[in-house]
Amino acid sequence: MKALTTFRPSRRALSICAMAAGLTFALSSCAGSAGSGGGGGGGGDAGSGFEYGASQEDVNAAIEGLDPITITFQPSAASQNSVMAPAGTVFKELVEERSNGQIEVEIVWGQAIAGYAEVHDALADGRIDVAYTLPVYQPTEFPAVNDLGTAMAGLPASPFQGELVANAVGKEIAWANENVLTQYEEKGLVPLTPLAASGGNYTVCADPVESADDWKGLQVRIASTAQSAQVQHLGGSPVSMEYTETFEALQRGTVDCTLGQLVPSAEAGIFEVAPHLGYTTEASFSRSPGAYLAGSSFPDMPLAYQQIIFDSNALASSGGMKAVIDGNAAAVQQAKDNGGEVNPFADDIQQEIMAYSETLTEDAIGNGQIGEDISTVIQEAEEKWTQEFEALGYTDEGETKDFNDWYDTETDYMDYARTSYEKGADMEHRPS
């Protein structure tokens, strides 16, 4: 086997704790292109792999005799105690269970190796093996992902079903976009999830923002170029800053609001200084897409190891969605606990957001990175995944303003993860 230089040999784990039933790899066999896709096959010395849905005995046979390894994984969460932690811990559990302990996952919390501005370089040079990244922070380097995030603003917003649908749609349209895949490949990156829609975007403000007049001159922290344009269109002044600076900026009045996902706002205690939460219902602000990427070590791994990591990343979206949606419920609760208002934007503001989102999508199409039919593609994908998830029981049971009351924090998302993997485009790109 080819010597692996970008990750460390590992002692074999002494034991692997049994996983909860919802996280088991006792998967039903899936027809289709399992084992027939591209996306990171390890070359002639990659060894044999296994079919998706294979028994654990078959997987053990495929990896027997392979050297144990340790991979470094940098998720999005600040610590293992974060509401966002399941996005990392579930991946670790799945990989180590499926590999019979031959792959050890070392989680590095809080972007301790490389911040979002540097993480792609760290993946390419081998400091990190797998990471959650934010390509949207580098729109000139990853313009296709950025433009897809802009086009996704037409998706209906909700803190539960809407999040599941948006993330399934995002993966599907990104896998189908050759520009997205090429831009990763050119930088030595291997997409595991080429576009993670993550959570929807909400305004979190020091004072209520109820009318169009309230937007005039509003200083709003934003995360993408499309969001900047949307805020300006509504009469506000966009401010770009690292998220770690947001709490202090709101506390001092340097900015009036932050526009972004609710999970980091809940984790950072933003609602202590900005308790008022605003949201859309029919359309949304443009997404700020993330991605789960592997680095330069991945193509040199044995094929079976690649497949274990790829499958585990897909199924670990159960933890990712739990982090996002539990975080949404926690944010609504924190807003109320701090005396804030939780209300949808006025109808005229929502209509303005929707109309301008269509304009931004047309502009994005003009960049040549996404197809001219992207709006139709997204709408058809939305209908497909809405039906799939409703059949699994993932339905909204109330309004966003009452999400903390009607959401069940015991909801399990493994059925979501398995269905979006087996019936999505991921399987076509499974290493083979």
Instruction: List C-alpha distances in Å: 288 to 4, 107, 388, 427.
Output: 34, 24, 24, 24
Higher pLDDT among residues 9 and 93, named by residue = 93
Residue 269 confidence (pLDDT): 92
Q: Is the pLDDT of residue 341 over 60?
A: yes
pLDDT given for residue 316 in this prediction = 97
Pairing relationship of beta strands 130-133 and 290-294 according to DSSP bridges: antiparallel
Higher pLDDT, residue 42 or 295: 295
Q: Which CATH architecture has domain 202-286+328-396?
A: 3-Layer(aba) Sandwich (3.40)
Residue 14 burial (CB count, 10 A): 6
Q: Answer yes or no: is pLDDT of 325 > 60.
A: yes
Answer yes or no: are the C-beta atoms of 111 and 119 closer than 8 Å: yes
pLDDT of residue 27: 35
pLDDT score, position 223: 79
Q: For CATH 3.40.190.170, list the domain ranges present in the chain.
A: 202-286+328-396
Mean pLDDT along residues 179-185 = 98
Asked whether residue 6 carries a pLDDT value surpassing 60, the answer given is: no
The yes-or-no verdict on residue 8 having pLDDT over 80 is no
Q: How confident is the model at residue 84 (pLDDT cuts 50, 70, 90)?
A: confident
With a cut of 90, say whether residue 128 has pLDDT above it.
Answer: yes
Residue 174 has pLDDT above 80, yes or no: yes
What is the predicted pLDDT for the residue at 226?
A: 83
139 touches 367 (CB < 8 A): no
HSE-CB at 264 with a 13 A cutoff on CA atoms is 21
What are the angstrom distances between the C-alpha of 330 and each of 83, 89, 334, 407, 408? 9, 20, 6, 10, 12
Share of the chain above pLDDT 90, in %: 76
State yes or no: pLDDT of 17 exceeds 70: no
Q: Which of 4-18, 267-281, 395-409 has the lowest mean pLDDT?
A: 4-18
CATH 3.40.50 fits 8-142+158-197+288-327+404-429, yes or no: no
Mean pLDDT over 251-269 rounds to 93
Give me the mean pLDDT over the 41-48 stretch: 52
Q: Record the tokens describing residue 356, joined without a space.
A: 């301008």
Q: Are strands 276-279 and 202-205 parallel, antiparallel or unpaired?
A: antiparallel
Give 2 or 231, the one with higher predicted confidence: 231
Which of the pair, 226 or 345, is modelled with greater confidence? 345
Alpha-carbon gap, residue 215 to 232, rounded angstroms = 9
Among the listed residues 81, 287, 285, the one whose alpha carbon sits nearest the alpha carbon of residue 167: 287
The pLDDT of residue 324 is above 50:
yes
Contact by Cβ (8 Å): 68, 11: yes
- pLDDT attached to residue 180: 98
Rounded-to-integer distance, Cα 383 and Cα 165, Å: 9
Tell me what pLDDT residue 46 has.
59
Q: What is the pLDDT of residue 64?
A: 96
Q: What is the rounded CA–CA span in Å between residue 426 and residue 194? A: 9
- Average pLDDT of 259-271? 91
Q: What integer best gives the mean pLDDT of the chain? A: 88
Q: What is the mean pLDDT of residues 117-146?
A: 96
Average pLDDT of the residues in 392-415: 97
